[in-house]
Every structure is written in C-alpha cells, then in structure tokens.
Amino acid sequence: MNTYKHHKLTRKIIKGYYGVYNELGTGFLESVYESAMLFTLKNELGMDVKSQVPITVYFRDIIVGEFRADLVVENKVIVELKAVSILLSEHKAQLINYLKATDIELGLLMNFGDEPEFKRFIFDK
C-alpha cells in the first residue's frame, strides 16, 4: 500500500510527464513542455489543470511579491517544470517557496534535461 500524500494523483502526473518526455525528448524551452504537459494532463488524463497560476507572497500581512507556478493540478499539486542539464538546489528552493506561499502541500519538480528526472516535495502546513 502506498502512503504518500495524493499518490494516485502524482502517479498520473508522472505518467503524463514520461509521455511528454518520451515524445518530445530534450532541448525545447520550458514553455513547450508546459504546453505539452497541460494538454496531456487535461485532455488525455482528464485532470483539472491550470497553468501560470499567480502565487502572492506576503510578509507581515503585506504583499511583497508575486510568482507564477507552471502548473497546479486538481488544486493539490504544484508542478514546476525545468529544461536544464541538472536540477540545482535553487530549483528545489523555488518549489518549496511556492508551497510555503500557498495552501498546497505537495510539489513535483520535473526536468526535461538529458535524462528524465523528477523530485517530489512536501511542505507540511
């Protein structure tokens, strides 16, 4: 039995990721992968997906910044896409900060580099 939070949902997202990676391969801009993931998750896997979702950052009850999450799936998972040769600690920090700034606790960092690579992150509220 799998005890990961939203494991059925993340399994579907990962399936979509490998489908996109296997068809497009590496070398495109992140925006291309984002469009392909959006299409795959919405139209082929029937998921509720939003792209470029604004995330507002507050400090002492004032707005100090705004970012955009690549994809938010079923209002439960933030998906941050990269097209880099290797994932760096900055990429992890970016996703963790998105989780901190929202009510969403689960994030997937997915890289379309030379080898497919993804990481799962939890930020417990």
The count of structural domains within the chain is: 1
Cα 74 from Cα 49, distance rounded (Å): 6
Look up the pTM and report it: 0.93
Q: What is the CATH number of the domain that holds 44?
A: 3.90.320.10
Residue 72 has a pLDDT of 98
Distances (CA, A) of 104 to 1, 16, 28, 75, 97: 23, 20, 28, 7, 11
Query: Phi and psi at residue 45, in whole multiples of 5°?
Result: -110, 0
Q: Domain of 106?
A: 7-122
With respect to residue 107, please indicate whether it lies within any of the assigned structural domains.
Answer: yes
Spell out the per-residue pLDDT of the chain, length 125, in tens.
Answer: 567 788 999 999 999 999 999 999 999 999 999 999 999 999 999 999 999 999 999 999 999 999 999 999 999 999 999 999 999 999 999 999 999 999 999 999 999 999 999 999 998 86
Residue 4 has a pLDDT of 78
With respect to residue 91, please indicate whether it lies within any of the assigned structural domains.
Answer: yes
Contacts of residue 105, Cβ cutoff 8 Å, sequence gap at least 6: 5, 99, 122, 123, 124, 125
With respect to residue 2, please indicate whether it lies within any of the assigned structural domains.
Answer: no
Contacts of residue 34, Cβ cutoff 8 Å, sequence gap at least 6: 51, 70, 71, 81
Residue 87 has a pLDDT of 95
Q: Which amino acid is at 70?
A: D
Half-sphere exposure of 100 (CA within 13 A, CB side): 11
Residue 2 has a pLDDT of 61
With respect to residue 1, please indicate whether it lies within any of the assigned structural domains.
Answer: no
